[in-house]
Amino acid sequence: MEQLKTIGRELAMGSQGGFGQSKEFLDLVKSIGEARSKAEEDRIVLREIESLKRRIVEPGIPKRKMKEYIIRLVYVEMLGHDASFGYIHAVKMTHDDNLVLKRTGYLAVTLFLNEDHDLIILIVNTIQKDLKSDNYLIVCAALNAVCKLINEETIPAVLPQVVELLGHSKEAVRKKAIMALHRFYHKSPSSISHLLSNFRKKLCDSDPGVMGATLCPLFDLITNDANSYKDLVVSFVSILKQVAEHRLPKAYDYHQLPAPFIQIRLLKILALLGSGDKQASEHMYTVVGDIFRKCDSSSNIGNAVLYECICCVSSIHPNPKLLEAAADVIARFLKSDSHNLKYMGIDALGRLIKLSPEIAEQHQLAVIDCLEDPDDTLKRKTFELLNHWFIQTMNKVFEHAGDLVNIKVAHNLMRLIAEGFGEDDDTADSQLRSSAVESYLHIIGEPKLPSVFLQVICWVLGEYGTADGKFSASYITGKLCDVAESYSSDETVKGYAVTALMKIYAFEIAAGRKLDILPECQSLIEELSASHSTDLQQRAYELQAVIGLDVRAIGSIMPSDASCEDIEVDKSLSFLNGYVEKSLEKGAQPYIPENERFGMVNISNFRNQDQLEVTSHGLRFEAYELPKPSVQSRTPPISVASSTELVPVPEPSYYRETPQTAPVPSSSDTGPSGLKLRLDGVQKKWGRPTYSSSSASTSNSSSLKVVNGVTQVDGVSSGNSKTHETSYDSRRPQVAKASSHASERFHTSKSTTIYSADNAVEKPNLVQPPPDLLDLGEPIVATSAPSVDPFRQLEGLLDSTQDPGTFGGTKAPDFMALYAETPAGGRSAGVALPLSLNRDGDNLIPGLSNASSNTVHGGTTVTNPSQISKGPNVKEALEKDALVRQMGVTPSGQNPNLFKDLFG
Amino acid sequence: MIKSVLVINTQGKPRLTKFYDILAVEKQQELLRSVFGVLCSRADNVSNFVEAESIFGPDSRLVYKHYATLYFVIVFDSSENELAMLDLIQVFVETLDKFFRNVSELDMVFNYSKLHNILDGIIFGGQVMETSSAEIIRAVEEISKLEAASNSISLVPKTVSGWRSR
């Protein structure tokens, strides 16, 4: 060991007392140095502690010995062992009159104690006395202790003395007094708010060192409130000019550079003051330009000043000449062989491209080189820059193209952020997320952001807002509430925002932190739980439910950062076996497989010209819906679940909320559709204890996703049973969460009837997961029909991505609801929410409720666009209901003709 | 602001630890271990900067320099400049070297309080106070002189200048 070579020399010195320490201490250090293991070292140190414990309390220890003991205590504690038994002796030592002992005591207490330690109270008096000492060394030692040990409560006890010391004759004391006030400002800004003018005054101190020290607190003050210090711009500029022109005494030079640390501090201050202030900036151009020219770029510290100039130039109002000079320096940094300079160059480049994007191009190759550098730090920094670039570019796309941006682009962006670059580099991925979060938080306050962009923002903030710990949950949730408030007419965005809130809260709970729900979030949740949009309602209720869960439950339903996790699906729904058996025991009717069922009708393969297919589980279309004769004729058995059919959607607009585009008018002659419409609204009143299926179906169809259906099933399986689950491979953000929704929903459906259980058994068919479709939680809704490969058919639906969060289901759906939900085929995301509007039983028709209870079985998958015109339909609906009853149609039947009418 | 100054030898033993933020002893040890873990895995010809946010929390940066058997580390926030902090390490080491004449790790162990005097001359309360090593040495020697003068029991048998001329 290298240090042992010299140990002989040191031992010789030690024995002479050359270091003022005893041979014991030397032996201790030596034996620790020679320790072969951590355990051996610990044994030695513990022995030392025992011996110190014993000896430090012996009476009549000579002061010199006592000093050594204290130093040994400090040493022992530095090695990580508990020396607290000796703290009191260190405190006592500060009371000593001897300068050496006092200073040793102060050194030890500043290392041992923190500002809240019980022993502080024994020191405050001493500090007060020592601050008034004639000996400046004692004053300095006391000021040192003040910085470390004085807390908010004790500030007033020493404040007057510290302020007085600002006028001390020794510049070292004045400097330290300023630093102490600066610390007070850190600890409690209000404690010295009346003393801030002192900092301005001290800027004119005769000693440049004191002036330099004053820049530290001023930098903090200006960071917090630049406007109050605009008057100082001229002074700062003139100081910087003098410093740069070598007007300070030679003693302030460092490596031939005049007071570089003061220059750096001043440049930082100017950057703050000139930011967004053209007038102030103009004062600075000359001096910054001079420094660019004169600064020695061969020394490290010279480059530090140059780098600071670049930061300043990119912060203040832009000046072409200075930008050019900055670009030159960056070029030199990037071309340098020094990794440090490359690093600074990349950082500086990131600052400058905001102002002059064209310089990015010149340095492309250099940047790529940095990506391949063996230095992790540099690579990381470069990734940061590129991520930033990427996010900025995407932001521009959204800002300029607005709602013209295809929703798919947004979903791809979310996917990229969630999945990363596909490399194994987690840091790069988390960086991308961090820079996205940071950038979005920055941009989120801007007015009139396009809806698609806001969806991305909300999703990213919900998923990753608090992931890197930079931003608090309350900050992020506050921002999300602001979004929901400012875009209150955009329900999609609101839906995203609420789901994001739920994620943030879930992560908080999972991390074991106490939930701090802002009042505005609270009121938003309350408002939404009474929203006209059932989707929003659903989300609000889910959020409230999630908040009430404990850590374990949250961990399983909302795993952190699990948006890319694969979801496993138990297609056979085997987890329901027990339930089914129990129901059968209680006398429920057994499930009849489709092919054995009577009166089953298949409607298959209706195709829409525009290739948009909505697969719906064609199980239950209630006959009663159809006022037409054809309908009446058929009264298939109640539970008829036909094989799933693909129900083609006549046109994309079918699911769109806009009433005028709705292909099916609500008028009575278009009967079927109108009827269905009303059915959707009716749900809540149905005879079943729980939610009606139709509501569920609507809600689903509102969310319209394959993902949705799939994840629900999964949720069921994961939530309710541990049965085998088949996994399908797809990497979608959100699916996990989707499952949580589903599972929650599932849980709520306690009142499921046997019936519905039966239905649920059929479910597997519906739930074929289409792996390749599921990217990024793209919300494609499709139900699989057993006979038809749904996925192939669904491919056309890929566009219709949807917020993973959107698929909120109804609050208390039963199995049927689940069942019914899955079939719904959906179109684009935007469509989803509007549809859900229909659900809020506005046009509930009490009379219908009986019939509709049957409808449940039918699992009406057809969401009715005409629902939008819900208001006016009530009367009509009543009439139809009457008609249907008159005709004696059993609503549970399914009627192909219905679809013919609808889609033909 | 500077958050902490650490000197760790290549075996991971701390030689000087100064935290300007208040931290529990256990936390300090944990940080030391993490920092050492990162430093000893770095190659020689790479930058002197290390990502520190995963160890020290948000808004923290780390600059280190490797001299012989010792790592000198400064942790600071965004109000400081990386290159300048690198030079601050240089100031500290230069000063130690001038003060101790070819400073070795052992000088640092046996002169613990002087080490702190020097560091306190450079950084005070987390801010850079002085960067001229001549000035720092002058101040520290003055302290030693005054201490010696006030020291009735002659704590330091030889003056600093005495043993410096060894």
Q: Which of residues 30-89 of B touch A (CB under 8 A)?
A: 32, 42-43, 45-51, 53, 57-58, 68-69, 79, 81-84, 86-87
Helix then strand then coil, % of chain B, to nearest 5: 45, 20, 30
Residue A172 has pLDDT above 70, yes or no: yes
User: Count of H helices and E strands in chain B?
Assistant: 7, 7
Residue A323 has pLDDT above 90, yes or no: yes
Report, as an integer, the average pLDDT of A879-901. 49
Q: Note whether A327 and A392 are same-domain residues.
A: no
pLDDT in tens, A489-522: 888 999 999 999 998 988 888 888 888 888 888 8
Query: What CATH number is associated with residue B29?
Result: 3.30.450.60
Residue with tokens 């000046």: A319
- Report the number of distinct structural domains present in chain B: 1
Domain end, chosen from A339, A364, A390, is at A339
The token duo for A767 is: 């739930």
**Chain B residues inside the 8 Å CB shell of A183:** 125-126
Q: Which of A236-245, A399-408, A478-487, A776-785 has the lowest mean pLDDT?
A: A776-785
Rounded to the nearest integer, the mean pLDDT of chain B is: 85
User: Count of H helices and E strands in chain A?
Assistant: 43, 6
List the single residue in B69, B135, B158 with the smallest CB-CB distance to A18: B158
- Strand pairing report for A613-616 and A257-258: unpaired
pLDDT in tens, A4-28: 444 444 443 433 334 456 678 888 8
Q: Note whether A547 and A679 are same-domain residues.
A: no
The whole-angstrom separation of Cα B70 and Cα B11 is 9
Q: Note whether A693 and A774 are same-domain residues.
A: yes
Between helix A208-224 and helix A260-274 the angle, nearest 10°, is: 30
Q: Which of residues 185-224 of A touch B (CB under 8 A)?
A: 186, 209, 213, 216, 219-220, 223
Res. B6 pLDDT band, cuts 50 70 90? very high
pLDDT at A873: 59
pLDDT at A896: 42
The token duo for B101 is: 């004449």
Residue A668 has pLDDT above 80, yes or no: no
pLDDT at A820: 42
Between helix A136-149 and helix A171-187 the angle, nearest 10°, is: 10
pLDDT at A808: 40
A275: which DSSP letter? B
Residue A381 has pLDDT above 80, yes or no: yes
Residue A286 has pLDDT above 90, yes or no: yes
Higher pLDDT, A679 or A881: A881
Three-state SS annotation for A165-212? HCCCCCHHHHHHHHHHHHHHHHHCHHHHHHHCHHHHHHCCCCCHHHHH
Q: Calculate how close chain B gets to A797, using CA atoms only, in Å.
A: 42
In this complex, do B127 and A179 lie within 8 Å of one another by their Cβ atoms?
Answer: yes
The token duo for A863 is: 């969401």
Q: Where are the alpha helices (DSSP H) in A57-170?
A: 63-78, 87-94, 99-112, 120-131, 136-149, 155-165
Chain B interface test: which of A38, A78, A79, A136 (most B C-beta within 10 Å): A78
The token duo for A395 is: 């932001």
Assigned domain for A344 exists: no
List the single residue in B45, B87, B139 with the smallest CB-CB distance to A172: B139
Q: Determine contact: A98 vs chain B, CB below 8 A.
A: yes
Higher pLDDT, A745 or A387: A387
Q: Determine contact: B127 vs chain A, CB below 8 A.
A: yes
Q: What ipTM does this complex have? A: 0.89
The whole-angstrom separation of Cα A836 and Cα A359 is 49
Q: Determine contact: A80 vs chain B, CB below 8 A.
A: yes
Higher pLDDT, A671 or A332: A332
pLDDT at A882: 60
pLDDT at A423: 57
Assigned domain for A42 exists: no
Q: Note whether A549 and A580 are same-domain residues.
A: no
Residue A763 has pLDDT above 90, yes or no: no
**Chain A residues inside the 8 Å CB shell of B128:** 261
pLDDT at A623: 59
Q: Determine contact: B25 vs chain A, CB below 8 A.
A: yes
pLDDT at A474: 87
In this complex, do A469 and B58 lie within 8 Å of one another by their Cβ atoms?
Answer: yes
pLDDT at A625: 54
Query: What CATH number is associated with residue A311?
Result: 1.25.10.10
Res. A792 pLDDT band, cuts 50 70 90? low
Q: Is the dihedral of CA A364, A367, A368, A369 positive or negative?
A: positive
Residue of B nearest to A29 (CA): B109
3-class state of residue B96 by DSSP: helix
Q: Note whether A545 and A689 are same-domain residues.
A: no
The whole-angstrom separation of Cα A742 and Cα A248 is 72
Maximum distance among all alpha carbons in chain A?
117
- Cα-based angle A728, A731, A732 (whole degrees, multiple of 5): 110
In this complex, do A301 and B84 lie within 8 Å of one another by their Cβ atoms?
Answer: yes
Domain end, chosen from A339, A357, A387, is at A339
List the single residue in B22, B25, B87 with the smallest CB-CB distance to A77: B25
Report, as an integer, the average pLDDT of B51-73. 90
Q: What is the DSSP string of A727-789?
A: E-----TTHHHHHHHHHHHHHH-TT--HHHHHHHHHHHHHT---GGG-GGG--------SSS-
pLDDT in tens, A131-143: 999 999 999 999 9
Residue A433 has pLDDT above 50, yes or no: yes
Residue A129 has pLDDT above 70, yes or no: yes
Domain range enclosing A323? 196-339
Q: Determine contact: B161 vs chain A, CB below 8 A.
A: no
| Strand order, beta sheet including B70-76 | B14-19, B2-9, B70-76, B61-67, B49-51
In this complex, do A147 and B124 lie within 8 Å of one another by their Cβ atoms?
Answer: yes
Chain B interface test: which of A261, A305, A433 (most B C-beta within 10 Å): A261
Residue of A nearest to B102 (CA): A6
Residue A186 has pLDDT above 60, yes or no: yes
pLDDT at A599: 55
Q: Determine contact: B21 vs chain A, CB below 8 A.
A: no
List the single residue in B22, B104, B126 with the smallest CB-CB distance to A3: B104
The whole-angstrom separation of Cα A231 and Cα A280 is 9
Query: What CATH number is associated with residue A542?
Result: 1.25.10
Q: Determine contact: A304 vs chain B, CB below 8 A.
A: yes
Domain range enclosing B27? 2-164
Q: Calculate how close chain A gets to B62, using CA atoms only, in Å.
A: 11
Assigned domain for A778 exists: yes
Res. A809 pLDDT band, cuts 50 70 90? very low
Q: Which of A403, A436, A398, A442 has its CA nearest to residue A418?
A: A436
3-class state of residue A821 by DSSP: helix
The whole-angstrom separation of Cα A111 and Cα A145 is 9
**Chain B residues inside the 8 Å CB shell of A115:** 22
3-class state of residue A371 by DSSP: helix
pLDDT at A645: 44
Q: Note whether A313 and A332 are same-domain residues.
A: yes
Res. A729 pLDDT band, cuts 50 70 90? very low
Higher pLDDT, A877 or A418: A418
Three-state SS annotation for B8-33? EECCCCEEEEEECCCCCHHHHHHHHH
Q: Which of residues 425-484 of A touch B (CB under 8 A)?
A: 427, 468-470
In this complex, do B104 and A339 lie within 8 Å of one another by their Cβ atoms?
Answer: no
When mean pLDDT is compared over A72-86, A281-295, A727-741, B50-64, the highest value belongs to: A281-295
A395-428 exposure pattern, b = at least 16 Cβ within 10 A, e = fewer:
bebbeeeeeebebbbbbbbbbbbbbbeeeeeeeb
Residue A706 has pLDDT above 60, yes or no: no
When mean pLDDT is compared over A257-271, A379-393, A629-643, the highest value belongs to: A257-271
List the single residue in B124, B153, B155 with the smallest CB-CB distance to A176: B124
Residue of A nearest to B18 (CA): A111
List the single residue in A7, A301, A343 with the smallest CB-CB distance to B49: A343
In this complex, do B124 and A183 lie within 8 Å of one another by their Cβ atoms?
Answer: no
When mean pLDDT is compared over A291-305, A380-394, A396-410, A575-589, the highest value belongs to: A291-305
Residue A871 has pLDDT above 60, yes or no: no
pLDDT at A629: 52
Q: What is the DSSP string of A522-535?
A: HHHHHHHTT-S-HH
Q: Determine contact: B90 vs chain A, CB below 8 A.
A: yes
Q: Note whether A768 and A748 are same-domain residues.
A: yes
Rounded to the nearest integer, the mean pLDDT of chain A is: 72
A351 to A256, A342, A394, B122: CA distances (angstroms)? 28, 14, 18, 30
End-to-end CA distance of chain A: 90
Report, as an integer, the average pLDDT of A161-188. 93
A629, burial (CB in 10 Å: exposed 0-12, middle 13-18, buried 19+): exposed
Residue A124 has pLDDT above 80, yes or no: yes
The token duo for A474 is: 């309350």
pLDDT at A354: 80
- Report the number of distinct structural domains present in chain A: 3
Tally C-beta pairs within 8 A across A and B: 197
**Chain A residues inside the 8 Å CB shell of B143:** 103, 137
Chain B interface test: which of A99, A116, A174, A372 (most B C-beta within 10 Å): A99
In this complex, do B111 and A470 lie within 8 Å of one another by their Cβ atoms?
Answer: no
CB of B28 closer than 8 Å to CB of B57: no
Q: Look up residue A706 and give its amino acid.
A: V
pLDDT in tens, A616-661: 455 555 556 555 554 444 444 444 444 444 444 444 444 444 444 4
Q: Note whether A830 and A784 are same-domain residues.
A: yes
Residue A762 has pLDDT above 70, yes or no: no
pLDDT in tens, B110-120: 888 889 989 99
pLDDT in tens, B13-43: 899 999 998 888 888 899 999 999 999 888 8
Helix (H) or strand (E) holding A649: none
Q: Determine contact: A380 vs chain B, CB below 8 A.
A: yes
Assigned domain for A24 exists: no
Report, as an integer, the average pLDDT of B97-109. 87
Q: Note whether A545 and A589 are same-domain residues.
A: no
A635 to A194, A626, A702, B96: CA distances (angstroms)? 86, 11, 28, 98
**Chain A residues inside the 8 Å CB shell of B47:** 338-340, 342-343, 375, 377-378
